[in-house]
Amino acid sequence: MRSLFVVAAALMLSGCVSSPLEDALATQRAPSKEIRRVIVHDAKDYLIDPYSVRDAAISSVMDAPGGQVQFVCVKANAKNATGGYAGSKTVSIRLVGKYPVGMNPNASACAEPLLRWYPFPELEGLKTP
């Protein structure tokens, strides 16, 4: 009887443990104008044709485990090296404060259904120099 109680208690407690992704999703907040501006500025160096961006969206900013680093996802369709549109691509951008410090293309966290997305017209509105 005692072992049945221990198993039942373990099963109940296992439902109370959250994953790091669930913890990050709980910290979602809209991206600031400054974060949007910095990402748009850096896109000019990252994308092959930054002036061709369409269908852009930016996710909520979330805290990574430990709280020292945040991350945000950006998805957009832009021309590739052959000059054609290859479809929407997603990248996770790690931030320290408002500054990007790294990225991860096609990060699984960016595919999370509970992630909130916002239009990102600033990225679509780049003009040729």
Q: 56 with 39: CB under 8 angstroms?
A: no
pLDDT digits (tens, 9 = 90+) for 89-127: 999 999 998 889 999 998 888 999 999 999 999 999 887
DSSP element (H, E) containing 100: strand 99-105
Q: What is the pTM of this model?
A: 0.81
pLDDT digits (tens, 9 = 90+) for 65-85: 887 899 999 999 999 889 999
d(CA 95, CA 61): 9
pLDDT at residue number 10: 42
- One-letter amino acid identity for 109? A
Percent of the chain with pLDDT over 90: 54
Closest CA to 25 of 127, 113, 128: 113
